[in-house]
A and B are shown apart, each in its own frame.
Chain A
Amino acid sequence: MKALRARNVECTMQSITLQGAGASLGPVIEFTGVTYRTAEGRALISSFNVSVMPGETLVLLGRSGSGKTTALKLINRLLVCHEGQVLVEGKSTADWDPIRLRRRIGYAIQEVGLFPHMNVESNVSLVPQLERWPAEKVRARVEELLELVGLPAEQFRGRYPHQLSGGQRQRVGLARALAAGPPILLMDEPFGALDPLTRADIQKEFKSLQQRLDKTVVFVTHDVQEAMLLATRIAVLEAGQLLGVFSPAAFLQSRAPIVSDYIAVLRSAMEFLRPTEPGGKN
């Protein structure tokens, strides 16, 4: 009898450890049957199912109003869904303390993201300061981050956002999102307002940064090229529906109607360029 009970205990312990291991290898973010409606009852996102694996970059691709930003805000609980669940690290966002949840998630958005009344250093060090890091550590971290995003700390830490170019502002925004070392990054068209050359630079840097830092990233964009460049997988959204999740290679081969529209955009850009290339063949 005693032995039986002991074996039972062993079993439960085993299943607990198995569960524990499963949680760390499972998806970092998981949407299960998520629907979000506006106050008027219009569904911005309906029956959304997708999971984001550790270390991957999931790009949400869709036109304006397709629900990409809404999906992003459901992850850090700026919005709470009406049906279904959003799980972050295996726990529903409804069960997370919103402040703790958000401090584990870096958040970068387009243009207006920096606080205009704070200089670069204060902007970047905001979350570490909220987390009450010691002053020395904060200083060192700010320097490290600014170097990481290619802005020399000596030159830039004292500047205000209005004294920076668009590209520099986005770099600071990225540094700020990375500041407290969050395992997850949410990025809402962070490079949308940049000129094409600066955007290409910063996209490449972000990609190499991402390969080094190994964060789990959810990235919102309407730009196919950006999606192809940065994504591990691309989730295509249209009018609040998730049409499919593709690897970049599968995306190019897909016959799904909206995807082929995107590919047509990509192709036409390339077609347009081809005649101007010397030699003609590529």
Chain B
Amino acid sequence: MVGIAMVMAIAIGIPLGVLITRWSKLRTPVLGLTNVVQTIPSLALFGFLLPLPWLAARSERVAITALALYALLPIISNTYAGIAGIDPAVREVGRGMGMTDLQLLIKVELPLAMGTIMAGIRVATVIAIGVATIAAAVGAGGLGEFVFRGLAMVDNRLILAGAIPAAVLALAADFVLGLVQKRLQRYR
């Protein structure tokens, strides 16, 4: 569930992040909107998404959409920050050598921003794993189901049976993505 949500968030977030570096008018609205989404309590967001026609057919769809929305902000803002943080002289030299905008993006800007973008993906994944447990509230299943059942039955062991694997999962994902990030920044 988190995996699919992350793929979606990356597929939308990185292009959007790039777009707002090219078109500065869009920057405030895009970042503002994703910020607003981030402030909606997760349970409420699941609730908002429930009545939507196509999504409501299967509760996993609701969960995935909500997780992707949460993951969007760190990815967009880090893509933007990563590219905006590149020394302007580097960009100018690329243009001076006759690179087109697309070549500059693919060969220079994205590789240089990759470390920062990866850090955003890492944060987003950890958030998404945490939020995913709450998705059980709308019947999407997952480890959250143990947590909710444990809460209902006042059984701490059952809560932990959901919470501990979720935490371990988040830490493991963070660790693995951390390694990827380090590999991408090896030239520094």
Chain A residues near B (Cβ < 8 Å): 73, 76, 78, 98-103, 105, 107, 109, 112-113, 115-117, 126-127, 130, 160, 162, 176, 186
Contact = CB atoms under 8 A, between A and B. Distances in A.
A130 B103 contact: yes
Interface stretch (B8-16, B50-58, B88-96): B88-96
B98 A78 contact: no
B22 to A, nearest CB: 17
Interface in B68-126: 87, 89-90, 92-100, 103, 107-108, 111-112
Interface of B: 87, 89-90, 92-100, 103, 107-108, 111-112, 187-188
Given A78-B92, A115-B112, 5 more contacts: A99-B100, A102-B97, A103-B98, A113-B89, A116-B187
Contacts of A105: 96, 98
A160 B100 contact: no
A112 B97 contact: no
A103 B103 CA distance: 14
A116 B95 contact: no
Nearest to A161: B187
Given A99-B100, A112-B87, A117 B93 contact: no
B187 A117 contact: yes
Contacts of B94: 115
Contact of B89 (A76, A112, A160): A112
Contacts of B108: 115, 117
B179 to A, nearest CB: 18
A127 B90 contact: no
Given A162-B187, A162-B188, A112 B95 contact: no
Nearest to B185: A117
A78 B100 CA distance: 12
Contact of A130 (B89, B98, B188): B98
Contact of A112 (B93, B111, B188): B93
